Amino acid sequence: MSPREDLRSPSIFIGKQGQDIISFGSGQPDLPPPVEVTEGLSVRFDLRYGLIQGEYELRKALSHEYPDSTADNFIITNGASEALDIIFRAMGRGKVLLPRPYYYSYPNIVSFAGMEAVYTNLKDGRIDMDDFNKKIKDCKAVLINSPSNPTGRIERIETLKEIEEITRNKNIYVVSDEVYKDLIYERENYHIKGNHVITVNSFSKTYAMCGVRVGYLWSSDQEIVNKAIEIKTHTSMNTSLIAQDMALNAMQAPKTYIKEQQKIWLSRRDIIFKGLCDLGFNLWKPEGAFYVFPEFTSPEKLVWDLYTKYKVIIYLGDWFGTHDRIRLSYALDSKEIEEGLNRMETALKKEKYT
């Protein structure tokens, strides 16, 4: 094993857990789902195809969460991943603007769809409107992810409104990946609106049910919704019916469930943010999601040392399009976060980093 070969992608760390490993890698809640998801779930015996677009009851329930929407505006998908995959495939050829650093699947999803990714670099972890305006001109779409994985930042409401208007005027699609919308510490989520907007969301993070794979897209542009349904007809058909039943069950959970989760995430954020500051890292204070993205001058060596000598998993900034940074997820117990920080402290003292 050598760092250069093995650190090409996060797959080296997939499935690595237990055995005294502290993993700041995985981007999923460790907390349990609400009991409503499984309790009282009645497994249907009629297992014939469902509607490609998704079960009506679930889409109807979702429509109550989105102003001026109907069940027709939604497609239920195999997680937010499939929602992104089919929406870009529905657009045809063209350029997609991606803020960088980005969630590592974005460039792949865009290129798999036959589209071309172009990038605008974030400034201080947020969209730089000067650069954005230069790059957006000849794009067919832009992908916004606020709160962001990997930066943990949220965009300013003014920025989101400005993007909303610029893209509306230029007839450019906005794909707004809001999977962390219920994990914002600073303010309410601002939901980008307009007929040119496709919102992507998921039950995975809000209800801690990543493995069930239920996400959705929402748009008032019925033409793009219909195109995406047409694609899904050929590439996967309906999202698993029982998975959709579990998602509908999740929506019965009391709102206090989400509030309680937010408290836990907030206290974890405070622990890891303070801990990393104390260790001398330079980083943005997370405002949403559950990631920190500190600077570090020799990130490959640190990732490698921590994994091979200290049983700590952290991710490399390169996987998110950015050198000289590392990503840590704090989706783990406070005690584990503290133990992980202690091991990092030891590593930083013992090993040599330039």
Residue of the chain from 50, 168, 333, 334 that contacts a copy of itself (CB under 8 A): 50
The alpha carbon of residue 298 and the mean position of all alpha carbons in its chain are separated, in whole angstroms, by: 26
x-or-dash string of contact with a copy of itself, 149-188, rule CB under 8 A: ----------------------------------------
315-11-34 Cα angle (round to 5):
80
Taking the complex as a whole, the smallest distance from the CB of residue 337 to a copy of itself amounts, in Å, to 18
State the binding string over 6-35 for a copy of itself (x if CB under 8 A, else -): -----x--xx----------x-xxx-xx--
93 binds a copy of itself (CB under 8 A): no
CA dihedral sign, ordered 118, 123, 129, 133: negative
Locate 342 and state its tokens. 């202690």
Helix or strand (DSSP H, E) at 175: strand 173-177
Among 97, 101, 95, 99, residue whose Cα is nearest residue 113: 95
Q: Is 235 in the site for a copy of itself (CB under 8 A)?
A: yes
Q: Whole-number minimum distance, CB 11 to a copy of itself, in Å?
A: 7
The answer to the question of residue 261 lying near a copy of itself (CB under 8 A) is no
Please report, to the nearest 10 degrees, the dihedral formed by the alpha carbons of residues 287, 291, 294, 298 taken in order. -170
Distance, C-alpha 26 to centroid of its chain:
12
- List phi, psi (to 5°) of 294: -70, 155
Cα 23 to Cα 260: distance, rounded to the nearest angstrom:
23
Which CB sits closer to a copy of itself, 60 or 274?
Answer: 60
Does residue 233 belong to the site contacting a copy of itself (CB under 8 A)?
Answer: yes
Q: Of these, 22, 59, 85, 347, which contacts a copy of itself (CB under 8 A)?
A: 85
Number of residues that bind a copy of itself (CB under 8 A): 54
Q: What is the CA radius of gyration of the chain?
A: 20
Question: Which residues sit at the interface with a copy of itself, rule CB under 8 A?
Answer: 11, 14-15, 26, 28-30, 32-33, 37-38, 41, 43-52, 78-79, 81-82, 85, 89, 105, 108-109, 112, 114, 208-214, 230-231, 233-243, 246
